[in-house]
Amino acid sequence: MKDRIFLSSPHMSEEGYEQRYVQEAFETNWIAPLGTNVNEFEKELACKVGSKSAAALSSGTAAIHLALKAAGVGQGDIVFCSTLTFSATANPIIYQNAIPVFIDSDEKTWNMDPDALQEAFEKYPQVKAIIIVHLYGLSADMDKIMDICKKHNVVVIEDAAESLGGYYKGKHTGTFGDYGIYSFNGNKIITTSGGGMLVSNNEKKIAKARFWATQSRDQARHYQHSELGFNYRMSNVVAGIGRGQLKVLEKRVEKKKYIFEFYKKELGHLEGVSFMPINTWDQPNYWLSSIILNGDIKPIDIFKALEKENIESRPIWKPMHLQPYFENYEFIGKGISEKLFEQGVCLPSDTKMTDQDLKRVTTIIKELW
Ligand SMILES: *Cc1c(COP(=O)(O)O)cnc(C)c1O
């Protein structure tokens, strides 16, 4: 069997930065729970993206959950949410006993459609919060979306789990709304094996999120709790990996972009193939190179041909409003997300791929035409 090529898998720095930080944690016995790495990782990430403060957490999902909690979302509240995303975006809405209303994609960005959002506001002016996703590292149409949101009293949460290192008009995705979240899950552009970060310019809210994430322990000699708590904090070992990975973020973005351009050059001319949209205001992190097929060759043909050669590829996220668990919640839009799901292919975008690996992928695909 030929070597496996992954969609996107962990890639530690060639310099061994991660091990140095982890080693420090070992030497000082600060394995857990908190310590220098956690504090520094928070500062370094906040500084990198240009946010005032950050809370290091056990996952991106936990970060979304605490953002919703900080936004005051509770029982029966309505939350608008991009439908074309991973379930981790939507699940925390349910954790808070709130009600998601799923918003369609815009063909121009693949992300939340401002027109569908406008329609949602007309129907549900009482909405409490909105979660905007920056899919595959592409930024949503933030000026339009923020303009609409500012007219209404709504808390904006950006799910930038897939877009760390990407910019909209020169500003980091995840820093436009009241809260932004990042993920360091194993498949993301940088990883800590698992983890997440909540960022905000509201330092008080971030302090509160840290409090909730450590079981809501009141200031008291004994264990006292006046609020419901969660065990959501990142460990000091994991944060050490994150500090090392953060040093190579730009390098990873550069490689992801190289992969995208390689595919574009090799596959761009094929009948019925179009690439994910890169808008003029967008400087993506190119997390996953994705294409749309609207000719005779179907996504399934590519999945099968690549799988036979031990190469991983995937469909575009199945929209939340089509998921059995969420299908009874409302959806607003024209079905662009459904079309993207049916026609989309995420190509292997692993930063460890060599030119030879990339050629292996494109040769197999081209043979289908
Ligand atoms: C990965 C991901 C998350 C959260 O991931 P965790 O695995 O909980 O860190 C959230 N939203 C999107 C869109 C993601 O891709």
pLDDT, mean of residues 122-144: 98
- State how far the Cα of 130 lies from the Cα of 153, in Å rounded to an integer: 11
> By percentage, how much of the chain surpasses pLDDT 70?
99
Specify whether 259 is located in the same domain as 137.
no
Cβ-based burial of 29 (10 A; exposed 0-12, middle 13-18, buried ≥19) = exposed
- State how far the Cα of 65 lies from the Cα of 118, in Å rounded to an integer: 25
- Encode pLDDT of 169-209 as tens digits: 999 999 999 999 999 999 999 999 999 999 999 999 999 99
- Encode pLDDT of 47-64 as tens digits: 999 999 999 999 999 999
Is residue 304 part of the annotated active site? The answer reads no
Domain count, the chain: 2
Q: What pLDDT does residue 26 have?
A: 87
Q: Are 60 and 182 in contact (CB under 8 A)?
A: yes
**What are the counts of helices (DSSP H) followed by strands (DSSP E) for the chain?**
12, 15
Q: Is the pLDDT of residue 82 over 80?
A: yes
Residue 215 lies inside a defined structural domain of this protein: yes
Q: Is the pLDDT of residue 367 over 70?
A: yes
Edge to edge, the sheet with strand 155-159 lists 53-57, 196-200, 179-183, 155-159, 129-133, 78-82, 99-103, 331-332
Residue 279 lies inside a defined structural domain of this protein: yes
- State how far the Cα of 220 lies from the Cα of 213, in Å rounded to an integer: 17
| Cα within 13 Å of Cα(209), Cβ side | 34
Question: 230: left (phi > 0), else alpha (psi -120 to 50), else beta?
Answer: beta
Specify whether 272 is located in the same domain as 215.
no
Which of 34-38, 50-54, 208-212 is predicted least confidently? 34-38
Asked if the bond preceding 114 is cis, omega within 30° of 0, the reply is no
Specify whether 233 is located in the same domain as 274.
no
Q: What pLDDT does residue 358 have?
A: 98
The CA-based dihedral angle spanning residues 233, 204, 121, 79, taken in that order and rounded to the nearest 10 degrees: 20
Q: Are 209 and 216 in contact (CB under 8 A)?
A: no
Could you tell me the distance, in angstroms and rounded to a whole number, from the CA of residue 60 to the centre of ligand 1? Answer: 5
Residue 9 lies inside a defined structural domain of this protein: no
Phi, psi of 87 (to 5 degrees): -60, -20
Residue 5 lies inside a defined structural domain of this protein: no
Average pLDDT in the chain? 97
Q: Which residues have CB under 8 Å from 76's CB, separation 6+? A: 97, 98, 99
Q: What pLDDT does residue 31 have?
A: 67
Q: How confident is the model at residue 329 (pLDDT cuts 50, 70, 90)?
A: very high
Specify whether 30 is located in the same domain as 171.
yes
Chosen domain end from 228, 246, 264: 246
> By percentage, how much of the chain surpasses pLDDT 90?
94
190-194 own/partner pairs: CB under 8 Å, 24+ apart: 190/164, 190/165, 190/242, 190/245, 190/246, 190/248, 190/249, 190/252, 191/10, 191/241, 191/245, 192/234, 192/238, 192/239, 192/241, 192/242, 192/245, 193/10, 193/238, 193/241, 194/58, 194/59, 194/238
Radius of gyration of the chain (CA): 21
Q: How confident is the model at residue 32 (pLDDT cuts 50, 70, 90)?
A: low
Q: Rounded to two decimals, what is the model's pTM?
A: 0.97
Could you tell me the distance, in angstroms and rounded to a whole number, from the CA of residue 11 to the centre of ligand 1? Answer: 18
Specify whether 211 is located in the same domain as 259.
no
pLDDT, mean of residues 123-146: 98
Specify whether 257 is located in the same domain as 322.
yes
CATH code assigned at 153: 3.40.640.10
Ligand 1 binding pocket includes 17 (Cβ within 6 Å): no
Q: What pLDDT does residue 55 have?
A: 98
Range of the domain at 75: 17-246
Q: What pLDDT does residue 35 have?
A: 83
CATH code assigned at 308: 3.90.1150.10
Select from 81, 95, 183 the residue to mutate for testing ligand 1; criterion: most ligand atoms less than 8 Å from CB.
183
At 179, which helix (H) or strand (E)? strand 179-183
Specify whether 238 is located in the same domain as 257.
no
- Encode pLDDT of 256-286 as tens digits: 999 999 999 999 999 999 999 999 999 999 9
| Closest atom of ligand 1 relative to the 60 alpha carbon | 9
Specify whether 202 is located in the same domain as 75.
yes
Residue 336 lies inside a defined structural domain of this protein: yes
Ligand 1 binding pocket includes 157 (Cβ within 6 Å): no
Q: Is the pLDDT of residue 33 over 70?
A: no
Q: Which residue's entry shows tokens 């909105």?
A: 130
**Token pair listed for 355:** 């030119």
Specify whether 240 is located in the same domain as 266.
no
Specify whether 63 is located in the same domain as 201.
yes
Chosen domain end from 246, 275, 290: 246
Which residue among 48, 144, 150, 188 is the active-site one? Answer: 188
Q: Is the pLDDT of residue 328 over 80?
A: yes
Residue 6 lies inside a defined structural domain of this protein: no
Chosen domain end from 227, 246, 265: 246
Q: What pLDDT does residue 28 have?
A: 82
Residue 221 lies inside a defined structural domain of this protein: yes
Q: Which residues have CB under 8 Å from 119's CB, separation 6+? A: 332
Ligand 1 binding pocket includes 86 (Cβ within 6 Å): yes
Specify whether 144 is located in the same domain as 225.
yes
DSSP string, 161-178: TT-TT-EETTEETTSSSS
Q: Are 357 and 344 in contact (CB under 8 A)?
A: no
Specify whether 163 is located in the same domain as 270.
no
- Encode pLDDT of 6-30 as tens digits: 999 999 999 999 999 999 888 887 7
Q: What pLDDT does residue 29 have?
A: 75
